[in-house]
Structure 1
Amino acid sequence: MEAKPARLSRTVLTEIILPADTNYHNTVFGGRVMQYIDKVATIASMRHSRRGVVTASSDSLDFYAPVKLGEAIQLEAFVTWTHRSSMEVFVKIESENLLTGEKKRTANSYLTFVALDEYGQPVAVPGIIPETEEEKRLFETAEMRYAARKLRKEERNLQL
């Protein structure tokens, strides 16, 4: 199976934050951000694998700044690394004050998706070709995150 450039999976989602999306601080609910993250990462992983996918794990979600009522939230996702049937997807989240144009990094997240065949079984996915500096940096550090996920899974299984 031939590897694909990471850019082919790149997906951008932009939404405006409305009152129903906000908490009592007039900032977006964290759960709403998580919903957007899962949606944009699903699309990126499907673009890469051209298969149906399932979310296998959400490794991290680090918030840096709130997104306020009336601001736009923009999520950009792409596949950073693959294993046999799994794909690591990086999502960066920014907010934009639509009146001033000020943008700020809001959060980062890493998720893992597994590609499925028509019977719902894991299926092999293409490798990744990183091209930009960001893609190369994330690709080079992905095996370390994969090992941490694997260790976390083993520890969880011991607790069950």
Structure 2
Amino acid sequence: MFKHAKDSQVSITELMLPAHSNFSGKIHGGHILNLMDQIAFACASKHSRNYCVTASVNRVDFLNPIEVGELVTLKASVNYTGRTSMVIGLRVESQNIQTGKVKHCNSSYFTMVAKDENGKNVKVPGLILDDKQSVRRFARSIARQEQAKTRSSRFKSSEFKMEEHLEAIKLHNVKLEL
């Protein structure tokens, strides 16, 4: 079985309240992460028609602060499907209600795994790639997976060669006492 990404896309908009703010008066990053996890769950569950769990989150950069009183819109779409997992692409935007100005606040990729009623991984429908954008997103997910494998093996404790990194480390705010 295969499905179009548009069939499981999810979007939510929420007004940011003072209760969502941190000590500096900006919306707390943890609140946004919670909303991102919820919408990733909704999108993955809609695609797979199963309960889904978050397996990993690939990089969340907070690009612009979100103010109290702004509308925050989160958009989620399936970018990649494996056998039991899906990569959900997320975009977060805020809008100033008075000016109408929209800011891109962050984007991220959540890997979600579908589970059956016994908690076992379950096969998910594949993705129908029907335009250049969907092919680009799918290919990008494959590349990100390959980069993650390389990253984790390169710095594995048993394989790490300290001498190869000392010169680069010295260029940073660090004092070596070896």
Return the TM-score normalized by structure 1.
0.90
Task: Specify the alignment match of 1:9 in structure 2.
Answer: 8
Task: Specify the alignment match of 1:56 in structure 2.
Answer: 55
Q: Distance in 2 between matches of 1:120 and 1:155?
A: 33
Whose RCO is larger (CA < 8 A, sep 6+)?
Answer: 1
Tell whether 2:76 aligns with 1:65.
no
Q: Distance in 1 between matches of 2:71 and 2:96?
A: 7
Q: Distance in 1 between matches of 2:135 and 2:65?
A: 28
Structure 1's 122 and 34: CA in aligned 2 closer, same or farther, altered over 3 A?
same
- Kindly provide the CA deviation profile for residues 32-70 of structure 1, in whole angstroms up to 9, marking residues without a partner as x: 010000000000000100001110001111211011010
- Structure 2's unaligned 5+ residue stretches are 159-178
Q: Distance in 2 between matches of 1:55 and 1:27?
A: 26
Structure 1's 152 and 111: CA in aligned 2 closer, same or farther, altered over 3 A?
farther
Alignment partner of 1:61: what SS?
Answer: coil
Q: Which residue identity is paired with 2:28?
A: F
Task: Specify the alignment match of 1:91 in structure 2.
Answer: 90
**Greater Cα radius of gyration, structure 1 or 2:** 2
Structure 1's 118 and 140: CA in aligned 2 closer, same or farther, altered over 3 A?
same
Task: Specify the alignment match of 2:170 in structure 1.
Answer: none
Q: Percent identity?
A: 35
- Kindly provide the CA deviation profile for residues 67-86 of structure 1, in whole angstroms up to 9, marking residues without a partner as x: 10100110000110011101
Q: Which residue identity is paired with 1:99?
A: Q
Q: Distance in 2 between matches of 1:70 and 1:46?
A: 30
Question: How many residues in Structure 1 have an aligned counterpart in Structure 2?
Answer: 158
- Structure 1's unaligned 5+ residue stretches are none
Larger strand share, 1 or 2:
1
Task: Specify the alignment match of 1:80 in structure 2.
Answer: 79
